Amino acid sequence: MEYGSLISFVFICAAAFIGAFVDAIAGGGGLITVPAYVLGGFPPHFALGTNKLSATFGSFSSTIEFFRQGKIHFPLVKYIIPCTLLGAILGVNSVLLINQDFLYPLISVMILVVGIYTYFKKDLGLINTFQLKSKTQIAMGMFFGFVIGFYDGFFGPGTGSFLLFIFIKFFGMDFVLAGGNTKILNFISNITSLIVFALAGKINYSFGLMAGIFSLMGSVIGTKVAIRKGASFVKPIFLIMSFAVFVKMIYEMMT
């Protein structure tokens, strides 16, 4: 597909809509959008940077909707946000210097383990038992926030899935509450990474802004579906996206 062509433009906008819809429900939207930019002829760093621009539209709209529905726990995430921001800055600066290929085997295994564990733990994420009781929880959240922020800035695939799993497994949230807290951290890492990519001159603004509009539309619809349908609907989508990320990574390692 030729870089900058009309076909490339339409293909990327469609992928941005679908990716944002899926990402708003269960994470993993980058599985759809980043390959779409690459197939559209974008060089790797421009694919990552331009994707951050369009994805920021979607993560922002999801954050607003989850906030309106009371699905973000600010007493916890207010401590995690600065750590996610710092991690994302370091992650993007690292990816501009380092080859990402060595991460594929490690992340593939991690994604598979998360998916298998969630599948066999039948009640995981279906009931909300979260209570913020100790400083240890806050410290754990800050640590995970930094690590995932760095990962999102450096690499990306599966970020939403990892965050969802962390909030569910380690904090006792259901899929919907975990989704709200995931989205605000996703937005922070996206906007931070976007600024760093912009300073490095790695963004195609004409494509990114138009794809961002489609991303926003997909995100609005996906968020409403997630909130209305609840945790029992989100969990199967989460499992599908987790295994899809794993299969994609294995395929790319073998080709």
DSSP letters, 227-247, are HHH-HHHHHHHHHHHHHHHHH
Rounded (10°) angle between helices 231-254 and 205-229: 140
Q: Could you tell me the residue ranges of all domains in the chain?
A: 6-254
pLDDT of residue 231: 66
**Cβ atoms of residues 31 and 190 within 8 Å:** no
pTM: 0.79
Rounded-to-integer distance, Cα 234 and Cα 173, Å? 13
The residue-averaged pLDDT of 158-180 equals: 87
Rounded to the nearest 5°, which phi and psi values hold at 133? -115, -25
Task: Using the Cα atoms of residue 4, residue 9, residue 15 and residue 20 in order, give the sign of their dihedral.
Answer: positive
Which of 175, 252, 214 is closest to 11 using CA atoms? 214
Residue 24 has pLDDT above 90, yes or no: no
Provide the H-helix boundaries in 27-102.
30-39, 44-68, 74-95
**Cβ atoms of residues 161 and 111 within 8 Å:** yes
Confidence of residue 19 (pLDDT cuts 50, 70, 90): confident
Confidence of residue 161 (pLDDT cuts 50, 70, 90): confident
Task: Name which residue leads in pLDDT, 51 or 121.
Answer: 51
Residue 64 has pLDDT above 70, yes or no: yes
Confidence of residue 50 (pLDDT cuts 50, 70, 90): very high
The residue-averaged pLDDT of 62-74 equals: 92
Range in 70-74, 175-179, 215-219, 235-239 with the lowest mean pLDDT = 235-239
